[in-house]
Structure 1
Amino acid sequence: MSKKIAIIQGHPDPSESHLNFSLAEAYKAGAEAAGHEVKVITVAKLSFALLTSEEEFDKHPPVTDIQGAQDVIKWAEHIVIFYPLWLGTMPAILKGFWEQVLRPGYALSTGDRNQWPKKLLSGRSARIVVTMGMPAFVYRWFYRAHSLKNLERNILSFSGFAPIRSTLIGAVQNLSERQRKVWLDKVYRLGQKGQ
């Protein structure tokens, strides 16, 4: 059964010369080959300001690239997020993107702040693909994948996404061409499955 899939490219460099872009393109190719419909959001190509106050966060975003991204995420049944690990977490531009997109009334119900908000993005699944310089097992076991868990639990799950799966690709600077191809093939197959 085909799915509507949104790919969110979170690399801060829009030049498309990084492994993250190759991985996202492999996922997209696999998904489209299997009949899934795919839309791509490249965060570094969007125009938006960082939020600096609670008042800004509580407002609806102006008619900008953010509303377009919200429309794509609302359309999607599954989202796939690609980003490189920077200083142990997602790049600042990707964090700023989530702050802009997941506003009250879009990701969570508004109203009485004394009540638990309703998750407005339920019914959607997600996959997070993170590349990093360190070996992936070091990030997962020694550093306990803290930023990945933050994205999974405090951002996506809090908004209603489930299930949320992750793929960690470590030591990317040392990948041989064969290893790189193995990862691209794995991500292609994930795209085919819509996972």
Structure 2
Amino acid sequence: MKHLIIYAHPSSESLNATIKDYLVNILKDKHEVKIRDLNQLNFNPVLSERDLNDQRRGVVADDVKTEHQLIEWAEYLTFIYPIWWTGMPAIMKGYIDRVFSYGFAYRYVKGKQQGLLNHKKIVIINTQGKSAEEYRESGMHHALTLTSDFGIFNYCGMKIMTHFYFDRADRITSTQINDLCSTIDDIYQR
């Protein structure tokens, strides 16, 4: 199988990096794996007026075209990023803004929205500082799921295999990381 990991965290020492590296190690022996480390790529997250106007005409910048080709290549996509200020980091949001463009990820036909990435299966892995209980009690867990899972990925037709939230990320254990990665490997075997 072909796996594309889209990763956003500026520190190579982060929990997110540990999860990414571990996941690559368990997948690479059985599957083709490509990684898009958005910070390392210095991906431009700003959707400019020119980008917007070009997208409406079906034209995308070369860096976006590269990402389109990689997404088309992949059977599975894994998004790994922290939850900061109750959302994804700016570089990941900018990736979505620029890459999940009209005509590639979605379109409208007779006023009705259609997702165009229906054949893609995804896993989302997030780390967060607060406890899962705090997020549930405040309603933020539901809000995060609505905005990312339904507002972005389902909107584009993608099938979400699972969405992991690692709470209390500053206190996570290696056993929890191993369990996560084994679970993801099992998901990808289905």
Q: What TM-score comes out, normalization by structure 2 length? A: 0.86
Q: Quick one: percent identity of the two aligned structures?
A: 21
CA contact (8 A) 1:131 1:169 kept: yes
Measured in 1, the distance between the counterparts of 2:56 and 2:33 equals: 30
Q: 1:189 and 2:188 equivalent?
A: no
CA contact (8 A) 1:108 1:159 kept: yes
Q: State the Cα deviation string for residues 2-29 of structure 1 (Å, max 9, x = none).
A: x211111022x1x411110110111111
Q: What TM-score comes out, normalization by structure 1 length? A: 0.84
CA contact (8 A) 2:6 2:37 kept: yes
Q: Which residue of structure 1 lines up, in the alignment, with residue 164 of structure 2?
A: 167
Q: Which residue of structure 1 lines up, in the alignment, with residue 85 of structure 2?
A: 87
Q: 1:71 and 2:69 equivalent?
A: yes
Q: Looking at secondary structure, tell me which structure has more strand per residue.
A: 2
How far did 1:163 drift?
Answer: 3.2
Change (3 A) 1:81 1:49: closer
Change (3 A) 1:153 1:17: same
Q: Counterparts in 2 of 1:107-118, with a 5 A limit?
A: 107-109=105-107, 114-118=110-114
Change (3 A) 1:190 1:46: farther
Measured in 2, the distance between the counterparts of 1:165 and 1:31 equals: 17
Q: Which runs of 5+ in 1 are unaligned?
A: none
Q: Which residue of structure 2 lines up, in the alignment, with residue 155 of structure 1?
A: 152
Q: State the Cα deviation string for residues 94-145 of structure 1 (Å, max 9, x = none).
A: 10110000111111136x5x42133211111111111011112322442332
Aligned residue among 35, 39, 47 for 2:34 = 39
Q: State the Cα deviation string for residues 145-167 of structure 1 (Å, max 9, x = none).
A: 21232111011111111134111
Q: State the Cα deviation string for residues 38-59 of structure 1 (Å, max 9, x = none).
A: 1111111233251144535525
Q: Which residue of structure 1 lines up, in the alignment, with residue 14 of structure 2?
A: 18
How far did 1:86 drift?
Answer: 0.6
Greater relative contact order (Cα 8 A, min sep 6): structure 1 or 2?
A: 1
Aligned residue among 129, 134, 138 for 1:133 = 129
CA contact (8 A) 1:28 1:188 kept: no
Runs of 4+ in 1 over 6 A off after TM superposition: none
Q: Number of aligned residue pairs: give it.
A: 183
RMSD over aligned Cα, in angstroms? 2.0
